[in-house]
Structure 1
Amino acid sequence: MTILVTGARGSLGGRVLSRLAGAGHPVRGTARDAGALDLPEGAEPAELDVTATGPWPALRGVTELFLYTVRGDAGPFLAAAREAGVRHVVLLSSPAAYDVGEFDQPIGLIHRAMERAVADSGLPHTVVYPSWLATNARRDWGDQLRAEGRIAMAHPDAQVNPVHPDDVAEVAVALLTGTRHRARRLVVTGPASVRQRDLVEVLGKVLGKAIPVDELTREQAIAARPPWLPEDILTTLLDVSAQAVGVPAAVTNTVERVTGHPARPFADWARQAGFTIG
């Protein structure tokens, strides 16, 4: 009765795996290169590519599965998971699969394809939709903070609902280890809708220094695109953030319903994140 966690090197997958191992659950963490895994005590490493043609020895003895969305055909793997006796899948998707401006764009289409594959497999499953992850602040702003001590962005008044990654992980663990909260879909958000410039203000308070915000035009934001971010993805994100200016982001009580505690505020994550400035 093993729980399989794909994407064990990722921020959310790693948190899920650590909590499962810490609670004494038999857990197996996977990556395409198992040698790159650094797992906690009690967790078993395994190599896995869910878009390969098999076989998949990582499925041996697995009863629950935490699954990242992937590009490519996961159908054969999911069929093998069903044959192997997997009883429930927790699929990590994205609100991009249904949100205005994203569901029919590249990110949304990838997540929708994965959701269809899981549904078509016949496996019982819950799709988890984490909102704007607090870790996006490090991804999007960390380099600027360290290099310049200020942040440039388009649409700083766009509203988001930042969710702490630990809350997402705890919801996933509850779904993997118990049946009470299993549903077709769960939208997991932070406790409040806030402007992105307000998040920068929170970071400044945590760091003890005001952080200036420079508002970019759409053209300036595209010109400043980091190499790792495809232009079509960036333009979609810019369209979505433009629509979110002055519009409250949806907030749910999923974290409290499932875990028993309120969703953590963005400031909690910021204090833990180890940002530096200037």
Structure 2
Amino acid sequence: MAILVTGARGNIGSRLTARLDAAGHPVRGSARDSTTLRLPGGAEPVELDLTDPGVAGADALRGVDAVFLYPVIGSVDAFLEMAAKVGVRYLVLLSSPAAYEVGEFDQPIGLVHRAVERAVAESGIAHTVLYPSWLATNARRDWADQIRTTGRVAMAFGDASFTPIHPDDIAEVAADLLTRGTHRSRMQILTGPRSLRLRDTVAVIGDVLGVEIPVDDLTREQALEREDGGIPRPILETLLDVAEASVGLTAPVNNTVERITGHPARPFRSWAEAHRRHFQPR
């Protein structure tokens, strides 16, 4: 029986697809446009819109026993109904702590994740929800362009603490859950190995590059003014609220990654070293 990985083009889905394929599991990777997929040789690319599955959904789900579900904006009810009808027995949903954290669960990001969680729960398919902490890849999203072009980072609430998690750890946990029943539960909260302030995370990148990267502290208002429209304002405001509430605190750390994978969670530095090229000056 095959495993379907939705969002197979993304940071986590691509890693999961490669891991499952390397272990010899029949795997399909999906995206709305299958031509954008770069899958390992043994994986089958399929085209699928989770919010409008139609005939493509039936093709993608044919012979599938387990699904990795990447959260999307919009209803996934039709896809889940189709999955239940064809006999999908288990599903791993990638969610976010925003679905339950103070200041986030009733805000845009939290509401999106809660809607998908609710649909999965109502589908009747056995499932586990993954709640990974601050993704190491956020550093590339938020700071890579600044570091490449100016050698500096401007941010608000640089003393906010988070627990960066390596995407390989998330993918490894998901692969275990999809292929073995040992650690299946209603949810698994995943964290990196250490609480770090945002400015400390920038310092790690600088150390990897062999340079000092100054951090220019912004006020909340300045951060909002600098945004070029890449992030919708309500979401940016929520992210700033969360960062402000995390100043002076130690972010929670657990050993879930180690319990499931058998090795400690990878440190942020290991991700930064592997992705050094994204931060190097042009």
The answer to whether the 8 A contact 1:207-1:277 is kept is no
Equivalent-residue separation in structure 2 for 1:149 and 1:53 (angstroms) = 44
Equivalent-residue separation in structure 2 for 1:196 and 1:277 (angstroms) = 21
| Structure 1, unpaired ranges of 5+ | none
Give the partner amino acid of 2:158. Answer: P
Aligned to 1:250: 252
**CA offsets 1:142-170 (integer angstroms, 9 cap, x no match):** 00001100000000000000000100100
Computed over aligned residues only, the root mean square deviation of the Cα atoms, in angstroms, reads: 0.9
Aligned to 2:38: 38
Aligned to 1:213: 215
Shift of 1:277: 3.9
Equivalent-residue separation in structure 1 for 2:100 and 2:191 (angstroms) = 15
Equivalent-residue separation in structure 2 for 1:125 and 1:78 (angstroms) = 12
Q: Provide TM-score, normalisation by structure 1.
A: 0.98
Tell me how many residue pairs correspond in the alignment.
Answer: 278
Equivalent-residue separation in structure 2 for 1:136 and 1:73 (angstroms) = 26
**Identical residues among aligned pairs (%):** 62
Give the partner amino acid of 2:119. Answer: A
The answer to whether the 8 A contact 1:174-1:259 is kept is yes
Equivalent-residue separation in structure 1 for 2:196 and 2:14 (angstroms) = 27
Equivalent-residue separation in structure 1 for 2:192 and 2:172 (angstroms) = 13
- Asked whether 1:276 is paired with 2:280, we answer yes
Aligned to 2:160: 158
Aligned to 1:123: 125
Equivalent-residue separation in structure 1 for 2:88 and 2:220 (angstroms) = 46
Secondary structure of the residue aligned to 2:54 is coil
Q: Provide TM-score, normalisation by structure 2.
A: 0.97
> Following superposition, which runs of at least 4 residues in structure 1 exceed 6 angstroms of deviation?
none
What are the residue-to-residue correspondences of 1:145-184 with 2, within 5 Å?
Answer: 145-184=147-186
Secondary structure of the residue aligned to 1:144 is helix
Note closer, same or farther for the CA distance 1:53–1:41 as it changes in structure 2 (3 Å cut). Answer: closer
Shift of 1:53: 5.2
Match of 1:98 among 97, 100, 119: 100
Equivalent-residue separation in structure 2 for 1:210 and 1:93 (angstroms) = 35
Equivalent-residue separation in structure 2 for 1:53 and 1:207 (angstroms) = 44
Equivalent-residue separation in structure 1 for 2:30 and 2:228 (angstroms) = 29
